Amino acid sequence: MLSKDEQQAIEAEFAHYPTKQAVCIEAMKVVQRHRGWVTDENLADIGDLLEMTTDELDSVATFYNLIYREPVGRHVIHVCDSVSCWIMGYEQLRRDLTGHLGIEMGETTEDGRFTLLPIQCLGHCELAPALMIDDDLHTSLTEDRLPGVLDEYQ
């Protein structure tokens, strides 16, 4: 069941969209901000509010790579693996991250602090390689800068 705060936040979005259904991504983001990820039960509750089926919402959620359908760590690291980042050091950045965190792509650290995921593009090719932790963009990354960046997220 959606909390009162979640329902109010979702309903506040109605004024910004032409239909209830158009609010679906924002609605899932609201739930995710409150709960960390979006369960099947959450989709059903959102569907009741937006007059959509769970399958319709799941189709959107699985297409939009910033909606998490499985539990994630307290902080999600999205590592850009676009061609510009590949050219500018993605492979080394990935090795540094996996070595420092002790996990592979798609995994979460044992302490639940970080989940490491690829993302196709962060749109900052001129400052590659780049990654995003939660909503914070970090660019022009090097092996020396990485520990300091990670230490910002406790």
pLDDT greater than 90 at residue 154? no
Q: For a pLDDT cut of 70, what percent of the chain falls above it?
A: 100
Identify the helix (H) or strand (E) that includes residue 28: helix 24-35
Q: Say which residues have a Cβ less than 8 Å from residue 69's Cβ, sequence separation at least 6.
A: 37, 38, 58, 61, 62
**What is the mean predicted confidence (pLDDT) over 78-94?**
95
pLDDT of 100 above 90: yes
| CA within 13 Å, CB half, 90 | 19
| Third-level CATH fold of 4-63 | Arc Repressor Mutant, subunit A (1.10.10)
Name the residue ranges covered by the structural domains of the chain.
4-63, 75-151
The percent of residues above 90 in pLDDT, for the chain, comes to 98
More confident residue, 154 or 40: 40
Hey, what CATH topology would domain 75-151 get?
Answer: Glutaredoxin (3.40.30)
Looking at residues 102-106, what average pLDDT do you find?
A: 97
